[in-house]
Amino acid sequence: MPSPGTTASLIVRATDSPSVDNSSKPTSRDRCSRSSLRAAQSRVSVTLEDYAGGVTEAAIGIDVGGTNIKGAAVDLRTGERITTRVRVPTPGGGTPDDIAHEVAAMVQGIRAEFDERVTASAPATLSCASPHAASYDALLDTVGVALPSAVRNGVALTAANIDARWINTDAAALLADASGSPCVVVNDADAAGIAEAALGAAKGVAGTVLVLTFGTGIGSACLSDGML
């Protein structure tokens, strides 16, 4: 099974990001004044030097399941987490609006933690008031969401262990509107398969590889010479 960071990092590469109106998106200064989403802290490899060196491929990955919603910010070059992995219970029933609300809150919390981690280790010249903060902020502009559903062009076609009202819902538009960021939505097992082909056990492997995911439900992705 792929690591959470590996899976999350490839969600945003599965399809092109849609455009959304970010006019109401919180600024770096706004985020620095908010409390981060508290979770059990784990050791993550974030250093000021990494970002001063110009990490240009990072995003937030969210995995929506029938029992829990999990998320973190990841470095897309390596699949490694650059914030704490956060997990919250999936709202009872798993309706589109309820899940969108939780995803938006998680995105805000992950961004707040990212800001805190960078600015806490930075000199005063790289504080939240610094112009550098905006460049850090932009790293997490895109959100990738893995959904327990068949997904085509951002629209959910089925619903496994989530509310049936997801069917025919434009999940990408719904979650983008809720979070204030471009959102890419793909099937959760497809995300795992793409991740393994790019960064995991299936990288560079010829022939057929079957990726299985086990959670509230069971999913699969079949790769042929690295292609889903």
Residue 161 lies in a domain: yes
Residue 202 lies in a domain: no
Residue 70 lies in a domain: yes
Residue 199 lies in a domain: no
7: Cβ–Cβ under 8 A, 6 or more apart, which residues?
A: 61, 63, 146, 191, 192, 195
Structure tokens that stand for 173 in this block:
């538009």
Per-residue HEC secondary structure of 161-187 comes to CCCHHHCCCEHHHHHHHHHCCCEEEEE
Question: For the chain, what is the domain count?
Answer: 1
**pLDDT reported for residue 33:** 37
Spatial contact of 145 and 184, defined as CB atoms under 8 Å apart:
yes
**pLDDT reported for residue 8:** 52
**pLDDT reported for residue 48:** 40
CA distances (Å), 94 to each of 2, 102, 217, in order? 24, 10, 14
Residue 32 lies in a domain: yes
Between the two ends of the chain, the Cα-to-Cα distance in Å is 16
**pLDDT reported for residue 120:** 64
**pLDDT reported for residue 137:** 55
Please give the average pLDDT of every successive group of 10 residues along the chain, which has 228 residues: 51 42 40 35 40 60 95 86 92 96 95 78 46 55 92 95 97 96 92 85 86 84 82
**pLDDT reported for residue 53:** 38
Spatial separation of the C-alpha atoms in residues 36 and 177, rounded to whole Å: 21
160: Cβ–Cβ under 8 A, 6 or more apart, which residues?
A: 66, 148, 149, 217
Spatial contact of 53 and 71, defined as CB atoms under 8 Å apart:
no
CATH number, domain containing residue 107? 3.30.420.40
Residue 169 lies in a domain: yes
194: Cβ–Cβ under 8 A, 6 or more apart, which residues?
A: 10, 13, 14, 186, 221, 228
Residue 91 lies in a domain: yes
User: Which residues form the domain of 40?
Assistant: 4-187
Spatial separation of the C-alpha atoms in residues 143 and 62, rounded to whole Å: 7
**pLDDT reported for residue 71:** 96
Residue 203 lies in a domain: no
